[in-house]
């Protein structure tokens, strides 16, 4: 397996696509590619057909998939705030890649997961992974993921929602808006890491009273009281919470002990009732689940990313990454850290230099434990071993 990437400004998008295709092939040491992933900022939408034509003509790739982003990235760096294009090419005759395009998410509705599953079931019958690149318009993430699981069982799903001033999706020679471009892969299975950008605060407690998304009691006490104690337990917690935010972490496997960073699905707190002490979450909660509150800011995001990368390195077990994808939230990047290329610099430092491509999106897909979730403010890394 060989792979290579290129990251270029795209003030002249068609020329940028040509430059990126030539550069990625040269980096891979290949004359042609089997697969190409292309991400570009939304302001190049008028040139999307020309971009696809250039990538397909130069690389010879049978499968070309991508979408728009608020910014783009490779292992060489990240570009935000200006027209840009990132391209990854892969050459591997063992890799089976099946592209798909659902042109109208709204029309697919609750059947979206089943529709995608029907298109890719033959490819992933013996394992593999999915990359999904949907538009924000008409998207119901839980319906997509539940439908996929019902039809295919557990299969790692990664990807992100298209972003930028104009949202669009790319699949071979087609450009869509309001759709879902994607890719089914078999012959290789990724090692996936999720950096939710949070640090646990306080202690984990069992939910003892809840209805729907409203948590009334945690450990037999009003949920708001437990939250205030968790914030107070952190040095400077009130100030950090005011600058950043407090979230709820729902334990994926409450039987695990001790619970650590990465064992939680992080969800927003969307309301509080001081009179009753109840909290409202962005995710349904059941009595018996374990909750630990989480603080999210630049320091927490940096620590969480390092912990995720250490875990990915451990699971790679010495295997060399052949290529990877990194789907970063548009709410991260330089706006969060105050410095450019923060995440890719740390990925390269921890895992070594390997071909990587990705973009800044409007929400990310990645598994936690053995279930796929839709995340926000998250960095999702999928590393494909050689």
Q: How confident is the model at residue 254 (pLDDT cuts 50, 70, 90)?
A: confident
Between CA 328 and CA 331 the distance in angstroms is 8
- Please tell me whether residues 158 and 230 are part of one structural domain: no
Per-residue pLDDT of 45-62, as tens digits, reads 999 999 999 999 999 999
Q: Is the domain of 124 the same as that of 180?
A: yes
- CA distance to 224, 238, 263, 376, per residue, from 366 (Å): 30, 31, 13, 11
Chain centroid, CA 315 distance in Å: 19
Is there a contact between 199 and 300 (Cβ–Cβ < 8 Å)? yes
Instruction: Find the domain containing 155 and state its range.
Output: 2-195+302-385
Residue 230 has pLDDT above 90, yes or no: yes
Do 20 and 34 belong together in one domain? yes
Considering only CA atoms, which of 366, 373, 363 is closest in space to residue 324?
366
- 3-state SS, 37-51, equals EEEEEHHHHHHHHHH
CA torsion through residues 226, 230, 233, 238, sign: negative
Q: What is the dihedral of CA 171, 172, 176, 181, to 10 degrees?
A: -10
Q: Average pLDDT of the chain?
A: 94
Span 111-144, pLDDT tens digits: 999 999 999 999 998 889 999 999 999 999 999 9
Examine the fold and report which residue of 277, 295, 313 is the final residue of a domain before the chain moves on. Answer: 295
Domain tally for the chain?
Answer: 2
**Where a domain ends, among 261, 280, 295?**
295
pLDDT tens, residue by residue, 60-100: 999 999 999 999 999 999 999 999 999 999 999 888 999 99
DSSP summary character for residue 206: E
Given this model, what pLDDT does residue 325 score? 98
Residue 304 has pLDDT above 80, yes or no: yes
Predicted TM-score (pTM) of this structure: 0.92
| Of 159, 163, 156, 170, the residue nearest 50 (C-alpha) | 170
Claim to verify: residue 78 and residue 117 sit in the same structural domain: yes
Query: Are residues 42 and 170 both part of a single domain?
Result: yes
């Amino acid at each position: 397996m060989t792979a290579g990437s290129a990251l270029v400004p795209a003030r002249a998008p068609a020329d940028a696509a040509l430059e990126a295709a030539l550069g990625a092939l040269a980096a891979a040491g290949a004359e042609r590619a089997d697969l190409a992933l292309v991400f570009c900022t939304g302001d190049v939408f008028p040139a999307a057909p020309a971009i696809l034509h250039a990538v397909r003509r130069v690389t010879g790739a049978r499968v070309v998939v991508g979408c728009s982003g608020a910014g783009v990235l490779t292992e060489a760096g990240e570009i935000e705030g200006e027209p840009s294009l990132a391209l990854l090419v892969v050459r591997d005759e063992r890799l089976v890649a099946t592209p798909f395009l659902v042109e109208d998410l709204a029309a697919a509705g609750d059947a979206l997961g089943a529709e995608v599953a029907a298109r890719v079931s033959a490819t992933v019958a013996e394992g593999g992974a999915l990359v999904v690149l949907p538009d924000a318009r008409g998207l119901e993430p839980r319906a997509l993921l539940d439908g996929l699981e019902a039809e295919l069982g557990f299969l790692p799903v990664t990807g992100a929602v298209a972003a930028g001033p104009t949202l669009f999706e790319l699949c071979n020679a087609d450009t869509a808006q309001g759709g879902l471009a994607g890719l089914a892969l078999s012959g290789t299975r990724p090692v996936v890491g999720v950096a939710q950008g949070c640090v646990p605060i306080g202690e984990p407690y069992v939910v003892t009273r809840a209805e729907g998304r409203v948590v009334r009691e945690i450990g037999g006490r009003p949920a708001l009281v437990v939250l205030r104690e968790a914030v107070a337990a952190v040095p400077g917690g009130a100030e950090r919470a005011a600058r950043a935010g407090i979230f709820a972490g729902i334990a994926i496997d409450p039987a695990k002990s001790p619970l650590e960073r990465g064992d939680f699905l992080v969800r927003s707190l969307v309301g509080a009732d001081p009179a009753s002490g109840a909290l409202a979450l962005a995710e349904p909660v059941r009595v018996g689940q374990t909750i630990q509150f989480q603080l999210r800011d630049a320091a927490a995001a940096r620590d969480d990313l390092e912990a995720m990368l250490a875990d990915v390195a451990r699971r790679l077990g010495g295997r060399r990454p052949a290529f990877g994808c990194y789907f970063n939230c548009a709410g991260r990047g330089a706006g969060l850290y105050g410095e450019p290329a923060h995440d890719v610099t740390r990925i390269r430092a921890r895992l070594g230099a390997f071909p990587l491509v990705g973009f800044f999106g409007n929400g990310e897909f990645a598994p936690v434990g053995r279930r796929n979730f839709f995340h926000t403010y998250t960095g999702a890394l999928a590393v494909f071993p050689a």
